[in-house]
Amino acid sequence: MVRRSLILKIVLYALAALVLTFVMAYGASRLLMTHVMGDAFRQLGSDYSQFLAREVEASFKDGAPDPARIDDLERSLHVSLTFVPLASQSLIPKELPEQELTSIHPVSPHAVYWIRLVPDGQYQGALRIEYYPPVRAGATAGWIFAGVMGLTFGLMIVPPLYFWVIRPLQRMVETAHRLGRDLQTPVAIDRKDEFGDLEAAFEALRQRIQRMLAQKERLLTDISHEMRGPLSRMAIALPLVRADGESSPYLDHIERNMHAMDRLIGELLALSRGQTPPELYQEPLDLAEMAQDLIEERSLLMTQLGITVETRFESAPVTGDRLLIDRALGNLLDNALKYGKAPLRVETGRDGDLAAFRVIDHGPGIPEQDLPHVFEPFYRPDTSRSRQSGGTGLGLAIVKTVAQSHGGEAVLSATDGRGTTATLRIPLRRA
């Protein structure tokens, strides 16, 4: 495989385009000035010089032209007229023919002309004529030159830069965003330059992350199943010990820890089960009905805690797994009961093409630096508070997993000291 350096490619192309641009612009300007504008100015100078010579000759009085007439001609025709008498013949170009009474001699190719003045057939001197239009034409030609050069250079540089640099960068940005959502689709490697190396690096990164996530999922599942065995045997042995007449506060402590362990294992299994492909969930559900059932199940607990709940339920039909969605909604509601303050607000409804379940509490909130991590397994913003409430750091991770497995999302917005708003969105059920 031949490696083509992108930097070398751009540098060589830019140098070639710059040289070609200058050659083309210079040739265009020379052609314009020499063949077009040069001929025009020569013809213009010849015609005007004859006219000016006749006008100046007609104004002669006492061996000199009328100054007022010369001023009028200069203002009206934008020229500079200088009369050189015979007394200053040394100032007249020697190349000016002496025998031709009205000959025009362009000393400069475009701008300056000399013409002999012979009023009434008597040689009186020469008239120097300098035209202003060539100066303006030179400036115009300069602008034309710069415009042609800039346009040519732009047309030669911008498209390759777009196709070689800008568009590949846009593709890399799109690939990075896609990898943040989907790790299943491989990154296509179809270049042999630095961008090809970047694509290969993205693909290697995707594979490593995918392996790490797969190992993490297997670890959660294996640990959950392996711990269920000893826990089941302990649950069987504990009643047998009590049946033998053994009674001790340590047995009650063991039983409470067994139940805590059982809840932790259940959450781990729910977390691993949430990775099931969404096409397996086909049960028609309504988030409004499920939310109402969850509140009724926890009505006694709310009464004991002295927490009132405001509700606003609108129909939010979805398709999915009842157990998983019920677990996710219950986790959001339980978090609000643990950490929130009255009154709580529970809402369901439609949010565009999504069905939404929302819980709003007035608790202590979550620090801003912790918000990006609250959906990670085992992450607890306030460890001491979570331990006192019996949290394991898996509740929100389960919510996020359930939402993603159903093609939705889980969002948590909070202000430190001002409460939290937790939202679960799932695509609406199609008619």
Do 95 and 213 belong to one domain? Answer: no
**Residue 89's pLDDT is what?**
73
Is the confidence at residue 256, as pLDDT, over 80?
Answer: no
For residue 194, pLDDT beyond 60: yes
Q: How far is CA 377 from CA 257, 380, 397, in A?
A: 21, 9, 5
On the question of a cis peptide bond just before residue 343, with omega within 30 degrees of 0, the verdict is yes
Last residue of a domain, one of 88, 104, 137: 137
The reply to whether 302 and 269 lie within a common domain is: no
Domain match, 363 and 247 both: no
423 pLDDT higher than 90: yes
Mean pLDDT confidence for 157-170: 77
In the predicted model, is pLDDT for residue 243 greater than 80? no
Least confident of 18-32, 103-117, 213-227, 324-338: 103-117
Going by C-alpha positions, the residue among 240, 192, 225 that lies closest to residue 8 is 192
69 is a domain residue: yes
Identify whether 423 is part of a domain: yes
Query: Rounded distance, CA 336 to CA 330, Å?
Result: 10
Residue spans of alpha helices (H) in 244-280 = 249-273
**Ramachandran category for residue 47: left, alpha or beta (phi over 0 → left; psi -120 to 50 → alpha):** alpha
Choose the most confident range, by mean pLDDT, from 158-167, 195-204, 263-272.
195-204
Say whether 318 sits in a helix, a strand or coil: strand
Residue 224: CATH number of its domain: 1.10.287.130
Q: Quick one: 198 and 212 in the same domain?
A: yes
> Does one domain contain both 318 and 300?
yes
Q: Are 319 and 257 in a shared domain? A: no
Pair 130, 111: CB distance under 8 Å = yes
3 state SS of 424: strand
Q: Specify whether 268 is located in the same domain as 288.
A: no
**What is the distance between the alpha carbons of residues 346 and 348, in angstroms, rounded to a whole number?**
7
- The predicted model gives 253-268 an average pLDDT of 72
Q: 264 lies in a domain?
A: yes
- Average the pLDDT over 369-378 and give the result: 78
Reported in sequence order, the residue ranges of 215-308 that DSSP labels E, i.e. its strands, are: 283-286
CA 282 to chain centre: 38
Question: Per the structure block, which two tokens stand in for 417?
Answer: 């000291």
Cβ atoms of residues 52 and 175 within 8 Å: no
| β-bridge mates for residue 356, sequence order | 349, 425
Q: What is the DSSP string of 111-148?
A: SEEEEEE-GGG---EEEEEEESHHHHHHHHHHHHHHHH
Mean pLDDT calculated for residue range 74-81: 79
Are residue 289 and residue 261 in the same domain, yes or no?
no
The amino acid present at 389, given as its one-letter code, is: S
Q: Which of 258, 273, 288 is the endpoint of a domain?
A: 273
Domain that holds residue 352: 278-427
Within a domain: 143: no
Q: Are residues 262 and 304 in the same domain?
A: no
Shared domain check, 330 and 216: no
Alpha helices in 340-412 (DSSP H): 383-389, 395-405
CA gap 21, 361 in Å, rounded:
68
Same domain assignment for residues 386 and 257? no
Q: Is residue 357 part of a domain?
A: yes
List, in sequence order, every residue forming a beta bridge with 359; answer none if it has no partner: 346, 422
Contacts of 178 (CB under 8 A, 6+ apart): 185
Q: What is the CATH number of the domain that holds 51?
A: 3.30.450
Q: What is the pTM of this model?
A: 0.46
148 in a domain, yes or no?
Answer: no
At which of 273, 288, 310 does a domain end?
273
Which tokens in the block code for residue 160?
A: 């390759």
Q: Is residue 167 part of a domain?
A: no
Domain count, the chain: 3
- 61: DSSP letter: B
- Let me know if 355 is exposed, middle or buried by CB neighbors in 10 A (0-12, 13-18, 19+): buried
For residue 113, the model assigns a pLDDT of 79
Q: Which residues contact 131 (CB under 8 A, 6 or more apart)?
A: 41, 44, 45, 48, 78, 79, 110, 111, 112, 113
Residues in the chain: 431
> Are 220 and 126 part of one and the same domain?
no
215 in any annotated domain: yes
Q: What is the per-residue DSSP string for 177-215?
A: HHHHH-SSSPPP---SSHHHHHHHHHHHHHHHHHHHHHH
Euclidean distance between CA atoms 421 and 332, whole angstroms: 10
**Quick one: pLDDT at residue 32?**
58
| CA 149/CA 324 separation, integer angstroms | 67
Q: Are 19 and 79 in contact (CB under 8 A)?
A: no
CATH number at residue 395: 3.30.565.10
Distance, first Cα to last Cα, the chain? 54
Whole-number CA gyration radius for the chain: 46
Location of structure tokens 């940005």: 173
Any bridge partners for residue 312, and if so which? Answer: 347
CA distances from 103 to 97, 118, 317 (A): 7, 11, 101
152, 176 in Cβ contact below 8 A?
no
Q: Which range is least confidently modeled, 130-134, 159-163, 426-430?
A: 130-134
Q: Where is pLDDT greater, at 9 or 351?
A: 351
CA-based nearest residue to 397, from 312, 315, 331: 331
Evaluate whether 358 touches 399 at the Cβ level (below 8 Å): no
Residue 128 near residue 92, CB atoms below 8 Å: no
Q: Is the pLDDT of residue 312 over 70?
A: yes
